[in-house]
Structure 1
Amino acid sequence: MYKKLLLAAVTGMAMLIGCKKEGESNLRNRDKNDEGFGLYKEVFLEELWKTDPDRATLAGNHTYDSLLVLPSEYRKKMLDLAKVHLDSLSRYPEAELSDANRMDFSLIQNFLRATQWNLQQLKPYEWDPTFYNATGTFAYILNEPYAPLTARLKGFNDKLGGVPEYFKEAQKSLKNPVPELTSLAIAQLTAASEIIEKDFADSVHNSGIPEVEEKVMIERAKLAAASIRSFTTWLKSASDGKGRSFRLGKELYEDKLQQELQPSFTGQQIFNSAMERKKVIHKQMIKLAKQLWPTHMAGKSMPSDSLEMVGEVIAALSAKHAGPEQFKAAIQQHLPTLTTFVQSKDLITTDPAKQLIIRKKPAYLSHRAGTFVTSPGPYEKTGKFYYNIINLASLDKEKADSYLREYNDYTLQLLNIYEAIPGRYTQLALANGSPSMVKAIFANDAMTNGWAVYAGEVMIDAGYENTPEMRLMWNKWHLRAVCDAILDYSVHTGAMTKAAALKLLTKEAFQEEMEAENKWTTVTLSSVKLASGFTGYKEIIELRNAYKKKMADKYKLKDFHDKFLSYGSAPVKYIKEAMLAKEKQPETAN
């Protein structure tokens, strides 16, 4: 009954929004309040899911799992959605909404504007073949147990019907593919054809689906896989190394930064701040390395080059690490220590109901490098959080050794802080429980990645593993975010070469060769992403300082953290506006 009433309310609101005459407001005054805006959000999200069913699936809304929208239809419908809903938003008195709804208003507005910019200015559908990797959703449907297998397989099968036409359109739309992105797309789609033709067929065969229906489903999978292989063959012939450069250029980079991260700073300002931060960190590291030299480098002459000296001490400390077979166990054994420390120092209120499951990284996530946490979609309130651990056996010995030196006994602890407690997992678990679906759906990368970077500093400042060795290695860890931002800006707005990038990462950020090579690959395949961690960290630190000044002697670090995280994964600048706003005084009676 509740769903029927909600549907009726949403439908009525949709008709109200869509029936505006020229020059008229289509919202009655009584619909412009918070309750009316709450209904509007339901309308907007329902229309978004129908327009972008892949996004809906990954968000945990499985109503439209069986739909595959053709590329040309997707672009048209998304632009129509943006135009209609920007018009609808303009009729709400933003200033009169509650703080929570005002933030949601801004998030929806930013998403719609970013959609327009992406499809009208950036136009990745013309030069980025990975834009057409809709097959990632197929892997999700097949592997994530959000519904009985038979139901998921039938949705998967229905979605397969549109695959041949989808890739015909993709081939027509691509005009000047970036060589690096073309190589990635070929790898992604080659794996996808295997998932569709083999993994799907195996699952259907073992599901108990009637044999006649099984044959039809497997035949459809073969046709879909063949169309993907045909597209990848065409991509190989189209990739002559002369496509569009992966570098965005300064104007597009600055615009994309604002559209995706919504920071309080320009890209140039973030770059300048990162360069200054690097100098500060280097000074701290030089001091610590000199202190540690007699203990860890006894009998060896200290180099005259200060950074070389730091690098040698770090290399000595990095030799202490778990073996390939013990890597997963080392992570698992360490997490309770972090929980105990956070609680003993009263740093943040955690959610014990949300459990983190440690597992070997599944095959369908093999395209993502390293070790990382994944969270359930915003609609999956009881979904599982996974800590996906790299399978070191899949690497050759040299790469595995390099990975283990990078994630040694010290930095592995920092990785756990960053990815798990009190970093990404802690933040995402709290955001997952947020009453605002909008904040969870449009999670801001600068906020989520910035919190993870910030969490490491909080732990070290609170006395975690209070040794000069750990402090030195935390500085190395922190340089990752700093140098990621420098790398991202230098490559995409300038002409930084691979050699210069590797020098920055290995000689100034003290990273292993494998880690540095992976970062170069990342910056050639993405933009803005690498800048998100330092950008968010910088914003959070500035907000904390301002909030501490506002609260004066009432300030408590835990209160700041709890209040900050209560806003979900919203951009920091909106959280800042809410947290620094003057308290509303109660009205006095006349």
Structure 2
Amino acid sequence: MFCSMRRKLLASLFALVVCASAAPRLTSAAAQRRRPVRRAAAPGASLNRLYDARVAQLGDAYLRGHYAFNPTEATAAGLHEFDARLEERGPEAVAGEARRLRGVLAELARLPEWRLSPDARYDYLVLQSHARARLLELEDIRVWRRDPNLYNRLAAAGVDNILKRNYAPIEQRLAAVLARERQIARLLDEARANLDNPPRIYTETAIAQAAGSVEFFERVVPQMFERAGGSGLSAARRAEFHEANDRAVAAVRAFRAWLEGDLLPRSNGDFALGAENFRKKLLYEEMVDTPLPVLLREGERELRETQDEMRAVAEEIAPGRGVEAALQLLALEHPTADGLVGEARADLDRIRAFVRSAEIMTPPARENLAVAETPEYARSLSFASLDAPGAFERVATESYYYVTPPDPAWTARQQEEHLAHYDRYTLTVTSIHEAFPGHYYQALKARQSPSRVRAALGASSFVEGWAHYCEQMMVDQGFGGNNPKLRLAQLDAALLRLCRYLVGIRLHTAGMSYEEAVSFFMREGYQARTNAEREARRGTLDPTYLVYTLGKMEILKLRDEWRKQMGDSFRIGDFHDRLLSYGSPPIKILRMAMLGDGGAGATADGVQATAEEAKPVEFSVLATGTMSAREGARAVELITDEAGWRRAWELIGGGRPLPDVSFDTRAVVVAYQGRQSTGGYSVEITGIKRVGTVLAVSVNERRPASGDVTTQALTSPFVAVSIQRPPTGATVRFADERGAAQGPQQERNTNVRPRARGAVRRRRRRY
């Protein structure tokens, strides 16, 4: 029997072989059409990709709306579809932009941040912060109603951005120039209607800026037009340009007269933002949530340490004579007014060579940088600056490193003070800051970022912080051969930025006056009177010019932590290449990307991936009850500002006084049990843990047992607690039985707003 079965099996196998050999072979084309069977993607992974795609859509839409409202900025960014427009700043236009920004924030709030990939989450946070910052500027700070300098800048920069770069034929650019120049009178009329009791120092500065703008349109714009190719146009087109430009000159001249004769006498406003607006400006623009007292203490410590180091270096240069004597020796070695641009140009060659030889970073493959004098209209508030092509410019890639010569109308003493600021060592430090490896290299790297959002919406604390960091880093790495004069110049630049850091905070939050600021720069920063006045005036206009020092300190901290993480494999060039690869976001985002500090993204199954351990968060109860006015399901929310706390208290306060919370250092978490049909329900928070930027809230929820006698009325239990202010971008969720954060269906991370009774519930869209 066994043999019979064996014969049958062999026969069957033989038949299979014969059939297989007789079967037609697949042609190569057919074989190529066959594809291996792929496993279906996990539902969570597919959903996460949809959320990422939605962030990308919102990012593109946000940039388009932003540039439509700011067409001059669009031209600078390299987007030229808005070149024929000039900004509109009437009340209706401002209100429309505010509505758009609130709409963007509402769309972002619908997305579960925790499910986004790291890159999408970085864009999400940048969009959220940028929209909040713009809303703050339009609705709370109201720059458009209090700063006449805004209108000077827009009028002049709108034309300058078109003529200085050869991104299109002159005929096309002339059409844009004509369109914008013909709108200047309208823009300045809006300024007259908008400006309401600005600070006197703002109006005084605007008068000086307007004088520069008159000179710019009257003399510089025709020269730029000729150099751009206007000399080759027909006589009719040239006449058309001169007619429009003459009208622009007349409009700006009339605006200057109005500023001087009408606005100045009634300019009695306060330039100080106040602590709350200053805090929000830092939080939204730079993602910095450090309390102001802490910022001041850190700045004061850095100031003293820098001054001590300067004294030690000064001993090598002028033994026994002090810092000011050593700085005076440096000031004697300065270029002439006519030679300033040439000296700066020659300096760049030495710096570029060192960046390559010392492997400071991987230099861009191509450079296109010109050194030139600062345009007249921008000279009032700038010694030196870089004007690089925008993130989206693909044709006119030239950049301009501007240095400001002394005004010929100044006295000989004023001109000498100005040129002394450009001693040969300070000029070198300035060139490092503005060009290599500072702003210019950073701008070129940002243009290569795969994120349009992070390439376009740069944070000043990183942009200026990087350039300021480069000054110290280059000298630390050996550039200049340990020359004490170069080190003193670098420290002097650092001291100036530290004075800005402290003065900016004190001017806008602590009652420091303009004259006190001038004295501070002269006493603590060794500044001459002319420069001290310029710096103090800038501080009133530019509240957060602390970003230079703030950003530098944050980059140094990040570098130290990156060095520890990399160990023996640390290379400073690798650190710089990695740092600059993410665009120009707030340094908070860079920490997330490079260290995983609260920046881990969602995994394929939607679970937050992070290597951080949960950290307990202490809390204190502010209020608890069962009769909130909130409708809806179980939810938890995080509140980080006074306005959000007031809105929540309208729902849970029951007419009681609002508990005081200092949002500089604290935040509020509110847990809602949801609408219940009877009494007998309650909720309490039993613990909060933080993992990165995620807060997991554990609660104990009581429900009536069967047979309990309960109130037959609708209830909505809640509990509100105060916690230490969490990191920027923090989110909150209910915790599961293990204390880990649950998914988004049980969370609410936006401020709850009252909903009118009887309002129709709309189904929440999911992306």
Q: TM-score, normalised by structure 2?
A: 0.66
2:383 maps to: 370
1:389 maps to: 403
CA distance in 2, matches of 1:487, 1:150: 47
Aligned mate of 2:334, from 321, 326, 331: 321
Aligned mate of 2:472, from 440, 457, 460: 457
Task: From the superposition, tell whether residues 184 and 144 of structure 1 become closer, same or farther in structure 2 (CA, over 3 Å).
Answer: farther
Secondary structure at the counterpart of residue 387 of structure 1: strand
Secondary structure at the counterpart of residue 324 of structure 1: coil
CA distance in 1, matches of 2:48, 2:398: 40
1:288 aligns with 2:309: no
Task: From the superposition, tell whether residues 397 and 288 of structure 1 become closer, same or farther in structure 2 (CA, over 3 Å).
Answer: same
Task: From the superposition, tell whether residues 587 and 521 of structure 1 become closer, same or farther in structure 2 (CA, over 3 Å).
Answer: closer
CA distance in 1, matches of 2:379, 2:57: 40
1:179 maps to: 200
How far off is 1:574 after superposition? 0.7
1:348-359 alignment, distance < 5 Å: 348-359=361-372
Secondary structure at the counterpart of residue 284 of structure 1: helix
- Which structure is richer in relative contact order (CA contacts within 8 A, separation 6 or more)? 1
1:52 aligns with 2:70: yes
1:542 maps to: 557
Secondary structure at the counterpart of residue 551 of structure 2: helix
1:331 maps to: 344
1:240 maps to: 265
2:483 maps to: 467
1:92 maps to: 111
1:516 maps to: 532
Q: Is the 8 A contact 1:82 1:116 kept in 2?
A: yes
Q: Is the 8 A contact 1:356 1:386 kept in 2?
A: yes
Task: From the superposition, tell whether residues 115 and 498 of structure 1 become closer, same or farther in structure 2 (CA, over 3 Å).
Answer: closer
Q: Is the 8 A contact 1:129 1:182 kept in 2?
A: yes
2:178 maps to: 157
Q: Is the 8 A contact 1:373 1:424 kept in 2?
A: yes
Secondary structure at the counterpart of residue 66 of structure 1: coil
How far off is 1:75 after superposition? 0.4
CA distance in 2, matches of 1:432, 1:270: 32
1:41 maps to: 59
How far off is 1:85 after superposition? 1.4
Equivalences, count: 548
Query: What is the letter of the counterpart of residue 290 of structure 1?
Result: E
1:94-243 alignment, distance < 5 Å: 94-133=113-152, 134-135=154-155, 136-192=157-213, 203=225, 206=230, 225-236=249-260, 237-240=262-265, 242-243=267-268
1:355-434 alignment, distance < 5 Å: 355-363=368-376, 365-382=378-395, 383-392=397-406, 394=408, 396-434=411-449
Q: Is the 8 A contact 1:318 1:408 kept in 2?
A: yes
Q: Is the 8 A contact 2:455 2:584 kept in 1?
A: yes
Q: Is the 8 A contact 2:86 2:158 kept in 1?
A: no
Cα RMSD for the two superposed structures = 3.0
C-alpha distance after superposition, 1:478-529 (max 9, x if no partner): 212111101211222233344433333233222333322321221133211x
Secondary structure at the counterpart of residue 466 of structure 1: coil
Task: From the superposition, tell whether residues 229 and 330 of structure 1 become closer, same or farther in structure 2 (CA, over 3 Å).
Answer: closer
2:294 maps to: 269
Query: What is the letter of the counterpart of residue 57 of structure 1?
Result: T
What is the percent sequence identity of the aligned residues?
26
Q: Is the 8 A contact 1:311 1:507 kept in 2?
A: no
C-alpha distance after superposition, 1:70-95 (max 9, x if no partner): 32232022112112211222233333
How far off is 1:537 after superposition? 0.7
Task: From the superposition, tell whether residues 585 and 141 of structure 1 become closer, same or farther in structure 2 (CA, over 3 Å).
Answer: closer
How far off is 1:337 after superposition? 1.6
Secondary structure at the counterpart of residue 317 of structure 1: helix
Gaps of 5+ in 2: 1-45, 606-767
2:463 maps to: 448
Secondary structure at the counterpart of residue 316 of structure 1: helix
Q: Is the 8 A contact 1:32 1:93 kept in 2?
A: no
Task: From the superposition, tell whether residues 226 and 291 of structure 1 become closer, same or farther in structure 2 (CA, over 3 Å).
Answer: closer
Query: What is the letter of the counterpart of residue 472 of structure 1?
Result: L
Q: Is the 8 A contact 1:289 1:310 kept in 2?
A: yes
Gaps of 5+ in 1: 1-27, 295-301, 304-308
Secondary structure at the counterpart of residue 386 of structure 1: strand
Secondary structure at the counterpart of residue 357 of structure 1: strand
CA distance in 2, matches of 1:47, 1:354: 31
How far off is 1:468 after superposition? 3.2
1:506 aligns with 2:506: no
Q: Is the 8 A contact 2:174 2:241 kept in 1?
A: no
Task: From the superposition, tell whether residues 505 and 162 of structure 1 become closer, same or farther in structure 2 (CA, over 3 Å).
Answer: closer
Secondary structure at the counterpart of residue 71 of structure 1: coil
Q: Is the 8 A contact 1:402 1:513 kept in 2?
A: no
CA distance in 2, matches of 1:210, 1:322: 42
Q: Which moved more, 1:185-194 or 1:119-128?
A: 185-194
Task: From the superposition, tell whether residues 145 and 508 of structure 1 become closer, same or farther in structure 2 (CA, over 3 Å).
Answer: same
How far off is 1:575 after superposition? 0.5
Q: Is the 8 A contact 2:406 2:419 kept in 1?
A: no
Query: What is the letter of the counterpart of residue 347 of structure 2?
Result: H
Aligned mate of 1:347, from 360, 363, 370: 360
Query: What is the letter of the counterpart of residue 50 of structure 2?
Result: K
1:11 maps to: none
How far off is 1:177 after superposition? 1.9
How far off is 1:322 after superposition? 2.8
Query: Which structure is larger by alpha-carbon Rg, 1 or 2?
Result: 2
C-alpha distance after superposition, 1:157-176 (max 9, x if no partner): 22344444433333222221
C-alpha distance after superposition, 1:177-211 (max 9, x if no partner): 22222223334345445655776678499556666
Secondary structure at the counterpart of residue 338 of structure 2: helix
Task: From the superposition, tell whether residues 35 and 524 of structure 1 become closer, same or farther in structure 2 (CA, over 3 Å).
Answer: closer
Q: Which moved more, 1:339-348 or 1:154-163?
A: 154-163
1:18-29 alignment, distance < 5 Å: none
1:489 maps to: 505
1:480 aligns with 2:493: no
1:61 aligns with 2:85: no
Query: What is the letter of the counterpart of residue 257 of structure 2?
Result: T
Q: Which moved more, 1:280-289 or 1:214-223?
A: 214-223
Task: From the superposition, tell whether residues 196 and 473 of structure 1 become closer, same or farther in structure 2 (CA, over 3 Å).
Answer: closer
Task: From the superposition, tell whether residues 504 and 162 of structure 1 become closer, same or farther in structure 2 (CA, over 3 Å).
Answer: closer
Query: What is the letter of the counterpart of residue 511 of structure 1?
Result: Q
CA distance in 1, matches of 2:345, 2:68: 40
Q: Is the 8 A contact 1:150 1:207 kept in 2?
A: no
Q: Which moved more, 1:557-566 or 1:156-165?
A: 156-165
CA distance in 2, matches of 1:168, 1:504: 38
Q: Is the 8 A contact 1:417 1:456 kept in 2?
A: yes
